[in-house]
Structure 1
Amino acid sequence: MSNPDSFIDEVNEELKRDRLYGAMRRYGWIAIALVLMIVGGAAFNEWRKAQDEAAARSFGDAVISALDTTDPATQRTELTAIDATGDRAGILNLLLGAADIEAEDRAGAMETLARVENDSTLPLAYRQIAAFKRVIIGGTDIPVDERRATLQGLAQPGQTFRPLALEQLALLTMETGDQDGALAQAQALLQEPDVTDALRRRVAQLIVVLGGDQPSDLG
């Protein structure tokens, strides 16, 4: 390579370095800002995670402390004093409903459970628990058609409370005087998967009460 060519190459390299340094001086702050944002975002996420964990521990400790109280009225007072939002509020209302039941306040329990049942922001499982408990507690105070509609929704295939809801539907059918229909529902329930031993025994007793034969596997 000739000296002129070498000189030109050196000049080109110098120009490239000048352009690079110029770009770094002009736009380097963007890179620094991005680094700060990434580091700051990670720090904020860790702080928020720590805050969430602390809030969860505080909520859990408060609930356990309230549940350790043996007096239903005091228990409800302590549960009511707990500050909770979102899913935790749903859990708290389910516990308040249970406290109302212990205190023999059926009206209060039904009102609290209905609040959970009708809150579309809560997980479906919470709402289904509340709906099932409200139907059981309410009994004949709730119109038959309303109870049947609620239980039929809970008894849909794939639903967690399907076996228990089918049992209650059989009892509801018996309540309305349709013993043959109740017997058929009870017998069909024994063919369902995921029927616990305790539920199987209850349904077998119901079948006998309705005039059916004792299931052979429980005889």
Structure 2
Amino acid sequence: MTFETYRTAGGTTIPRGVSSGRRALDVVVAGSALVLLSPLLLLLAVVVRLSGPGPVVFRQRRITTGGREFTIYKFRTMRTDGVGPSVTRSGDARVTRPGRFMRRTSLDELPQLVNVLRGEMTLVGPRPETPDLAARYPAEAQWVLELTPGVTGPAQISMRDDVALQGSDVDVESWYLGNVVPRRVAVDLTFLARPTVAATVGVLARTARYLVTGRRWVPPTG
């Protein structure tokens, strides 16, 4: 199947869309997971409801294929009366107690399987960014906003804790955009340059290992 390609700032040509093989994998895995994990999803919904006032499911506009916007779904992990930057730092007071556990185990992201079924996301891809932060992306990293975002990806399992910036005297959003985003995009390129079904399964396996053991994946260098 032929797709429109996109050339990165570094000159690498990558496919812009999701192949039919990856799309089939998305539908099978996401659909099966939603059915098999339905008791867990119900339990988490009850926990979120009991954690404080506010919706069970957090909805936010994010960027998908071609720079279009969509609504992402996650279990709510923060208080609704909290105000702060789009990027959370370690010890953020807005995060609820069960929210900390769900973030640490990525259980808050399970509703994104619905986004996968709808074709707004894929299982493996770059991080889905907010329109506000996407508009401020470094020029050399903006190409990644043209691609379909993923529930997981190489950067998400090798740099998961890098946005946990300590200290209150740092503009966390500027730090994230200037330091984390370029490195995250470079790591994701290890998959995005050749996003095959086999490579997708490999990232999913590394994600499962990370969630079980806590061992972060070390991407190849050189």
Fold shared, TM-score > 0.5 on shorter chain: no
Question: If the length of structure 2 is used for normalisation, what is the TM-score?
Answer: 0.22
Which has the larger helix fraction?
A: 1
Greater RCO structure (CA 8 Å; 6+ sep): 2
Question: If the length of structure 1 is used for normalisation, what is the TM-score?
Answer: 0.22
Which has the larger strand fraction?
A: 2
Larger Cα-atom Rg? 1
